[in-house]
Amino acid sequence: MKVIIACGGTGGHLFPGLAVAEALTSRRHQVQLLVSDKAVDQAALAALTTASGPSAVGVQSLPAIGWGGSRQWIRFCYRLARSTKRCADVCDEFRPDAILGMGGFTSAPAVLAARWRRTRTLIHESNAVPGKANRWAGRFADHVAVGMADCARFFGNKPVTVTGTPIRSALRRGKVAGAHERLGLERDRLTVLVAGGSQGAHAINEAMAGALPWLDEWRQRTQFLHLSGARDEPFLRAAYEENGQVAKVMGFCEHMELAYSAADLVVGRSGAATLTEIAAFGLPSILIPFPHAAGNHQLCNARVFERAGAARLIEQSQLTPERDAAGQRLAAAIIGLLSDDSRRARMAAATSALAVSDAEQRIAALIEQHAH
């Protein structure tokens, strides 16, 4: 079987797509990836390996489309038509049995081209609320796979399967022995992982800096692994030093399996990929959704975890604009969980219950089912 996977543009679309590609190649299928020419896609693909070897997966890049509002309607239509024609050309050359769209701007033209070529199509939506591309593509897809059951209602009468969201193979292997030592952390301290995504999150960084004075009594028992983004790394490193807190501040972490393995508590955003990874490691969390995410989907994602008893939700509006007040509120939430081992254990169990360990295999099986 031959499958095209359109998965570029952001890590949240790309990495699940790569995981499905790995699953398909392990099942002896041929895969062609449609990605963007963004740096995040190219860097990830440079490190791509599969059980069948690097040559098992082909790669094609699509130009960005980007919806710039109604004033750029003509430009948008031109770019969509150009990308759709490019996808159709790839279909003519590769002759796929099915096309899978993972959301984002590479997904829409791929689904449209598949419709044009009468090829079976599926889409996958990771979030509790679908993005614009998948809302549109869902009208033409033969089947919809979703990471969260809450999302199914957005696709009307379209057939939907809850598959979970795939994650990178390194994260599927579970906790890594010696993670503390490899990260330069102390094993006998409670470790708080603060992560705002690959670019960091300035609002979380500011709130965390403001929280440090309120965590003074915990200096001997805690340590922080703070993934700050490059811009905020210097000021955060200084803030931890000034407050006498043990911390490792990193602009970016290439080995998140180590970070999750060392963590006792996570403070971070609530994108679908992040939540899937937290669930895979069974970690309690304090979630601070990015308020400007499309359709406010991060807030909806966080509420799924909050309802399950897996996370404490704090909206970003509660952490702004005054740093001291925001810091005190965040510190209180952190202390409340660090001081209650049984509560953290209950949250960890609830988080683990949300994990789907074989999402990529479920999607691969769904593709096989619909391609014939």
Residues 228-238 have pLDDT tens digits of 988 999 999 99
Question: What φ, ψ does residue 264 adopt, rounded to 5°?
Answer: -105, -20
- With bands split at pLDDT 50, 70 and 90, how would you rate the model's confidence at 85? confident
User: DSSP state, 153?
Assistant: G
Higher pLDDT, 223 or 137: 223
Helices and strands counted in the chain (H then E): 15, 13
Instruction: Please check whether the two domains, 2-165+357-371 and 172-353, share a CATH topology.
Output: yes
For the chain, the domains span 2-165+357-371, 172-353
CATH tag, 172-353: 3.40.50.2000
Helix (H) or strand (E) segment spanning residue 347:
helix 341-353
- 3-state SS, one letter per residue, for 274-339: HHHHHHHHCCCEEECCCCCCHHHHHHHHHHHHHHCCCEEECCHHHHCCCHHHHHHHHHHHHHHHHC
Mean pLDDT (the chain) is: 89
Which of 2-16, 75-89, 335-349 is most confident? 335-349
pLDDT band at 8 (very low <50, low <70, confident <90, very high): confident
pTM: 0.89
Segment 20-74, tens digit of pLDDT: 999 999 999 999 998 877 666 666 666 554 444 445 688 877 766 665 555 666 7
CATH class of 2-165+357-371: alpha beta
